[in-house]
Amino acid sequence: MLRIAIQKSGRLYEDSVQLLKECGIDLRNVKDRLRTEADNFPLEVFFLRDDDIPQYVEDGVADIGIVGENVLFEKNKQAEVVEKLGFGKCRLSVAVPRGQQYEGVTSLQGKRIATSYPFLVNTFLAKNNVQAEIHEISGSVEIAPGIGLADVVADLVSSGSTLFMNGLKEVETILQSQSVLIKNNQLSAAQQQLLDKLLFRIRAVKKAKRTKYVLLNAPNDKLKEIISLLPGMKSPTVLPLAEQGWSSVHSVLSEDTFWDIIEQLKAAGAQGILVVPIEKMII
């Protein structure tokens, strides 16, 4: 049995449960539970506050966990990152009141900084030889300058709209973060085997998200050119169409090059291009 710790409620909850689901793991009665067992995988799930997850994994109370890098690095616990998961993306940034002059990190000298990330902020200040006063607060950090509690803040940002609404501007990025899968340092061989099985599925799901299955019709005299544009997993599948002189071409495209290649395919004479999502991809 492998025990995984995930956030009980909050920004990482939905994506964490969804990832397990996409890995074919069915959880029973997820709502309002502290723990549950999967029906079809030897996995026990603990629902916890995200702040507690690194400690639980370090102590081996949970074998693995899903947590933001921001929390993992702030807590500075012994747990190994095994996979970046691509969700919960945000950054820990320093923001100052919009009217305030800012000329680089030295402008933070002697300031009062409100943050929920004292360790990361201290490390950042020390690295830049800046002395400042850290005020640790656990929530609504962005209102601190407005109520006179601090001069500047160091807080998590994704779109920046919360900062904007509070009259703040982002001036430094301390850390780029996303959620990661972490593991305890002393897993048994059996647990490691289960983790490998889970990781295999997670990677297949992640890979599928970045790729699309493309089907198109091509006149046979353009086939060569069209095929040369397609990377595919091996080579594209080519099937004759009922209409003489035409073929159907199937291939897999990565998200990064997707639009460029589609344009080139059209220009080369491809028609009826269909793009479909891929659920899992095993290579």
Stretch that binds ligand ATP, among 44-52, 213-221, 260-268, 269-277 (CB under 6 A): 44-52
The minimum distance between CB 70 and ligand ATP, in angstroms, equals 5
Q: Which does 7 bind (CB under 5 to 8 A by kind): Zn ion, ligand ATP, none?
A: ligand ATP
> Token pair for residue 220?
């046979």
Structure tokens at 222: 């353009």
Stretch that binds ligand ATP, among 27-35, 156-164, 222-230, 254-262 (CB under 6 A): 156-164
52 scored as a contact of Zn ion (CB under 5 A): no
DSSP sequence for 131-153: --EEEE-SS-GGGTTTTTS-SEE
Question: E strands of the chain, at which residues?
Answer: 2-7, 35-37, 43-48, 64-68, 80-84, 90-97, 112-115, 133-136, 152-157, 168-177, 179-183, 211-219, 237-240, 246-254, 271-277
Residue selected from 68, 166, 184, 265 as contacting ligand ATP according to rule CB under 6 A: 68
The only residue of 54, 88, 145, 236 in contact with ligand ATP, by rule CB under 6 A:
88
Considering beta carbons, is residue 61 or 215 the nearer one to ligand ATP? 61
> Where do runs of H (alpha helix) occur along 45-188?
53-59, 69-75, 118-127, 161-165
Q: Are 180 and 69 in contact (CB under 8 A)?
A: yes
Of 10 and 240, CB closest to ligand ATP: 10
Residue count of the chain = 283
Radius of gyration for the chain, computed over Cα atoms and rounded to the nearest angstrom: 25
Burial of 263 (0-12, 13-18, 19+ CB in 10 A): exposed
Kindly indicate which of the ranges 63-71, 95-103, 233-241, 263-271 contains the residues binding ligand ATP, using the contact rule CB under 6 A. 63-71
Under the binding rule (CB under 6 A), the answer on residue 240 touching ligand ATP is: no
- Which helix or strand (DSSP H or E) is residue 235 part of? none
Of Zn ion, ligand ATP, none, which one does residue 88 interact with (CB within 5 to 8 Å by kind)? ligand ATP
What is the distance of C-alpha 3 from the center of its chain?
Answer: 21
From the CB of 10, what's the least distance to ligand ATP, in Å?
2
Complex with ligand ATP: residue 40 or 159, whichever CB lies closer: 159
Which lies closer to Zn ion via its Cβ, residue 22 or residue 51? 51
Report the interface residues with ligand ATP, using CB under 6 A.
Answer: 7, 10-12, 49-51, 68, 70-71, 88, 90, 156-158, 177
